Copies of this chain bind each other. A is one copy, B any other.
């Protein structure tokens, strides 16, 4: 292999080739085809050993690739898990140990009691993301429920860093859940596109970052948000449209030191001052005065933030600052990470097209990606699989179904059949493909209907359908 490759990239290639071999075998391909694929697999395993000094092991990524965060500081966390807003890595094929993360971050587990309360006050069945532990952690959700019970207002805030024009399925998770929250609670929603962050972190122009923000907005609108209840904004635009937003940014920036952002985000002396001050810009929408046009200048409206757990450092900082500048602390609902096709060890990357299903993928691309790249918890031969059964804990196809197959009973049956060996890997993948294809197709139809005029409407600072 002549091209330079990282251990992690090579690990992904070996895993993908292993999948190919398995598929060929279960599809009863010719001996010649299978032998060629096995030969390629063995060559890749040898490359892997040469590069890493370790044998390739299924589900165990290269251990010498201790994650190096953006600032060149090597970081090791307990259990081999590393989570910050830019890096998510774990040595376990099951993914990050979320119970440990709750302890380390000091948040609270969403337990059955809280889920019952949510169902009780809203009169709705809890979303399957709640029922299945996909949103698994929270801060102050009880306050939000108390507010809702006493008809006190709150609002929702979520966001996205527009790192490219296309979004993948994992990016939909917070929006699907936020849409459900908006439907059951009927509250205002603000959605931040941190195009300024992407400009600061990536090698792109301001114009590109803004273009990504607008394109991503179309995908977000396609999730079905109500224009009368939702304000979507690009930082690059909105900072120049509302003195209230900038004034909150400055207030936050006065109350956070370089030492603090160094501790929370790992910034270093050679980082640009834009990165160093950016956390205040992600924090500011947590305060209702950042949106005077929506909240009429009221500063006491609490905020509820549904987001992936890697964004929590921003909001730990925000919650620390809030009382010092006279604002309520935002409440949070944290989700697990959506696993990459290659396995739950890493967060998906919008820049690696094979690591995820994109919202622009054709039915054929979805089929090929799942078949070729989705990490399998199945055994190498049909005989072994039928004898020992597959492992749902590490099987990415099964994991994806927990996100996108709403039918609890059907999902449970798939789990039993796969674990017992009755359901083969190819069959499981087929179920996933047939689950994803219509979802993506429907999204694409929705997105096509999003006009520039609609984008403009959602992105115009204005009063929403709530009186404050």
Contact = CB atoms under 8 A, between A and B. Distances in A.
Interface string A229-240: 000000011011
A262 B271 CA distance: 12
Contacts of A259: 269-270
Given A243-B236, A244-B240, A200 B270 contact: no
Contacts of A276: 258, 273, 276-277
A276 B250 CA distance: 12
Contact of A243 (B241, B253, B268, B269): B241
A76 to B, nearest CB: 23
A257 B240 contact: no
Most-contacted residue by chain B among A206, A257, A261, A271 (CB, 10 A): A257
A256 to B, nearest CB: 5
A240 B236 contact: no
A251 B196 CA distance: 9
Contacts of A261: 273
Contacts of A243: 236-237, 239-241
A271 B250 CA distance: 14
Contact of A240 (B199, B239, B256): B239
A67 B175 CA distance: 54
A272 B253 contact: yes
Contact of A239 (B206, B239, B269): B239
B253 A247 contact: no
Interface string A277-300: 101100000000000000000000
A455 B435 CA distance: 62
Contacts of A131: none
A268 B280 CA distance: 19
Given A199-B254, A272-B257, A247 B206 contact: yes
Contact of A273 (B200, B253, B269): B253
A351 interface: no
Contacts of A240: 239-247
Most-contacted residue by chain B among A242, A245, A255, A273 (CB, 10 A): A273
A344 to B, nearest CB: 34
Contacts of A79: none
Given A239-B246, A273-B277, A276-B276, 6 more contacts: A200-B250, A237-B243, A241-B243, A257-B271, A258-B258, A259-B269
Interface of A: 196, 199-200, 206, 236-237, 239-247, 250-251, 253-259, 261-262, 267-274, 276-277, 279-280
30 contacts: A199-B254, A200-B250, A206-B250, A206-B251, A239-B246, A240-B240, A240-B241, A240-B242, A241-B243, A246-B246, A253-B277, A254-B272, A256-B272, A256-B274, A257-B269, A257-B271, A257-B273, A258-B258, A258-B269, A258-B271, A258-B273, A258-B276, A259-B269, A261-B273, A262-B269, A273-B276, A273-B280, A274-B277, A274-B280, A276-B277
